[in-house]
Amino acid sequence: MDEILGGRRMRRNRRADWSRRLVRETVLTTNDLIWPIFVVEGAGIRQPVPSMPGVERLSVDEAVKDAVKAESLGIPAIALFPYTDPALRDPTGSEALNPDNLVCQTCRAIKQEGLNVGLMTDVALDPYTSHGHDGLMDGETILNDETVDQLCRQALNQVEAGADIIGPSDMMDGRVAAIRQAMDANNFRDVQIMSYAAKYASAFYGPFRDAVGTNATLIGDKRTYQMDAANTDEAIREAELDIAEGADMIMVKPGMPYLDILWRLKDTFRMPTYAYQVSGEFAMIEAAGANGWIDRDRAMVESLMAFKRAGADGILTYFAPQVASLLARAL
Ligand code: PBG
């Protein structure tokens, strides 16, 4: 064997814990986490989402508590997603423009705490429309330019309530440029835009749609605006446009099935680049863990490490509080 190997033994560096730590290339830290939080009308409410074990819809007061928890755990940012009362959903998603809607209420309440936590809000109409689409519709068509106008007003509504990072997740053309222009024109020059640059029409969003109530409302699918799972060069063009339009950070979504896209975008643009470990990915790990088929905690950390290795600067993940606690204990 020595003759064949000529002294080259890869296992040497792996033989002890201290040595494995010494040669480790990638680190996962709490600074890499963005925690998505679901909000719902009411007070004192923590409503479990059955398809996302451990995840709850929170009333504004409870969301404030979790924002405080995020700060104490060292999680740099949270992202808000509303479950809008079905009675408030209409074809144009007008509730998105209500200065006192759930997201705005939550932003104001969290901002009042003066936390060292970034507040990200989602720009898209789907939690507000009666048809569950991210845009305005004319018959079966999702209107691009009319939607972009509405998204600019939605984004302004959110930053007026205190949002720090705008996350357009709608995949309309030109929305990053339009939102950036709207921000600049209204003296919100420091608002960051994290564009969902490459967002795919994916089956992995199912549990999220339970959480925000859009499985019940969505008519048809989102293939005319979200990307085809088969495409990779198209992701480059999407990201290139969003960066040219003024995005500060770009995102790939879903996460684990699209690590190749993450790698290509980071490698090509060298931008702050994020992965969204979406609800279906979270649910799979939770479900297999609950069945004893995989070690949940190890799978959780391994999945997040994979994003880092593939070039992510951070990860939006429902595991954020658990992994932050785990990392704190490990220190
Ligand atoms: C909608 C939106 C979706 C997610 C974030 N924003 C779902 C969709 O496009 O239908 C999915 C997140 C997840 O699955 O965790 N604008």
306-316 pLDDT per residue, tens: 999 999 999 99
The CATH number of the domain holding residue 109 is 3.20.20.70
Residue 18 lies in a domain: no
Would you say residue 331 has pLDDT above 70?
no
- Of 199, 194, 314, the closest CA to residue 245 belongs to 194
Residue 5 lies in a domain: no
Which DSSP helix (H) or strand (E) runs through 246?
A: none
% of the chain beyond a pLDDT of 90: 99
Would you say residue 65 has pLDDT above 70?
yes
What is each CA distance from 44 to 63, 79, 83, 258, in whole angstroms? Answer: 10, 20, 15, 38
Residue 6 lies in a domain: no
Would you say residue 207 has pLDDT above 80?
yes
Q: Where are the beta strands (DSSP E) in 200-272?
A: 249-253
Looking up tokens 């959903």, which residue turns up?
A: 89
Residue 123: predicted pLDDT: 98
Residue 2 lies in a domain: no
Which DSSP helix (H) or strand (E) runs through 177?
A: helix 175-185
Contact 132, 218 (CB under 8 A): yes
Residue 166 lies in a domain: yes
Active-site residue, 253 included? yes
Q: Check pocket membership of 154 for ligand 1, CB cut-off 6 A.
A: no
Q: Where are the beta strands (DSSP E) in 181-300?
A: 192-199, 249-253, 273-277
Q: How far, in Å, is the centroid of ligand 1 from the Cα of 249?
A: 18
Would you say residue 261 has pLDDT above 80?
yes
Q: What is the dihedral of CA 43, 48, 53, 54, to 10 degrees?
A: 20
Report the interhelical angle of 60-73 vs 320-330 (nearest 10°).
30
What is the count of structural domains for the chain? Answer: 1
- Mean pLDDT, rounded, of the chain: 97
Residue 298 lies in a domain: yes
State the distance between the two ends of the chain, measured CA to CA, in whole angstroms: 40
Residue 7 lies in a domain: no
Q: Check pocket membership of 278 for ligand 1, CB cut-off 6 A.
A: yes
| Nearest-CA residue for atom 2 of ligand 1 | 169
Q: Check pocket membership of 273 for ligand 1, CB cut-off 6 A.
A: no
Q: What is the DSSP string of 75-127?
A: --EEEEEE---GGG-BTT-GGGG-TTSHHHHHHHHHHTTT-S-EEEEEE-STT
Residue 119 lies in a domain: yes
The CA R_g of the chain, rounded to the nearest whole Å, is: 21
Mean pLDDT, range 215-220, rounded to an integer: 93
Mutation to probe ligand 1, out of 51, 126, 200 (largest number of atoms < 8 A from CB): 126
Given the residues 222, 253, 266, 308, select the one marked as catalytic: 253
Q: How many CB atoms lie within 10 A of CB 326?
A: 15
Residue 87: predicted pLDDT: 97
CA dihedral sign, ordered 315, 321, 326, 331: positive
Mean pLDDT, range 188-195, rounded to an integer: 98
**Omega before 36 cis (within 30°)?**
no
Q: Which domain holds residue 281?
A: 26-330
Would you say residue 224 has pLDDT above 90?
yes
- pTM of the predicted structure, to 2 decimals: 0.97
Residue 330: predicted pLDDT: 78
User: Residue 82: what are its φ and ψ, rounded to 5°?
Assistant: -95, 145
